[in-house]
Amino acid sequence: MDKKSKTHFGFQSVDESEKQTKVNDVFTKVAGKYDIMNDLMSLGIHHYWKWLTINSALIKQHSKVLDLACGSGDLTKLICKKQYPHVDLTLADINSEMLTQGRRNLLNCGYIENISFIKVNAEQLPFIESYFDTILMAFGLRNVTNQQQALNELYRITKPGGKICILEFSKPKMNWLKKLYDWYSFNIIPKLGKLVANDEQSYRYLVESIRMHPDQEQLKKMILTANFDNCVVHNLAGGIVALHIAYRY
C-alpha cells in the first residue's frame, strides 16, 4: 500500500488530503473576529502593508484584477478607494465564511460595482489562461497545501505583461528582532485569540504556519520555478513580512 503524502499543519505532520479541511475549519472559526484580531495582532500595521502592496501593484485602467485568498476584502477596499477607472475585480477564497465576510465588508462600504465573488481552491483555479493583468494574494499562500502548484496556476492565468503581488509573513533579518517576534507570537497572539475570539488553538496554528512557510529566498525560487520573471522582494518590518512582485513577460 502506498504511503500517503505528508505535509504540515502548523507544527503537526498531517496527510496532504487532510490539510485543507483543517485550514478551512480554522478560518470558519475566526471569520467573525478576523478584522479585529488582525488589528490587534499587528497593532494596525497590516493596513500599511496592504496599502503598500496596492501602490506597488500599479493597477491600470481597464485591467482585470484577482484578489486571491481575499479574506475580508482589505486589498479590494483599497483598490475601490483609489477609484481606479473600469477595473474588473474578482474576489476569491476557498472558505465560504471568509468570502461572505469580504462581501459584507465591501457592501457596507458601498463597493460592489464591477466586483465578482467566487469560491476557489488556489491549486485548481477555474479561470482561462492569460486572463488577469494583476493577481494579489495577501497572507494566504502559507495556508495552501501545495504552494508550488498554486504558483504554477497563478502563472497560467496571468497575462503576458501582467504581474503577481504576494504579501506574506516571512523571516526577520535581524536576530534580536526574530527573538522578540517569536516571544510575541507564541506568548501573546494565542492569548489574544482566546480573549477576543475565544479560540486560542486557531491562533496558535496561525503562528506556527508562519514558521513553516518558505523564507524570502525560498519563495522567490518557487515563484521563478513557476516561470515568472524578475521577482523582486521587498522586506517589510525588518523581514517579518515580505512582498514578492513578479512578472510574466
- The pLDDT tens digits along the chain (249 residues) read 456 789 999 999 999 999 999 999 999 999 999 999 999 999 999 999 999 999 999 999 889 999 999 999 999 999 988 876 688 999 999 999 999 999 999 988 877 777 999 999 999 999 999 999 999 999 999 999 999 999 999 999 999 999 999 999 999 999 999 999 999 999 999 999 999 999 999 999 999 999 999 999 999 999 999 999 999 999 999 999 999 999 999
pTM (2 d.p.): 0.94
Domain ranges of the chain: 6-247
CA–CA dist 97, 117 (Å, integer): 12
Whether the CB-CB separation of 203 and 132 falls below 8 Å is answered with no
3-state secondary structure of 172: coil
**Nearest to residue 27, comparing CAs of 11, 9, 14?**
9
For domain 6-247, the CATH superfamily is Vaccinia Virus protein VP39 (3.40.50.150)
Q: For residue 96, how far is the Cα from the chain centroid?
A: 16
Count CB neighbours of 240 within 10 A: 21
**Beta strands 132-138 and 158-169, pairing class:** parallel
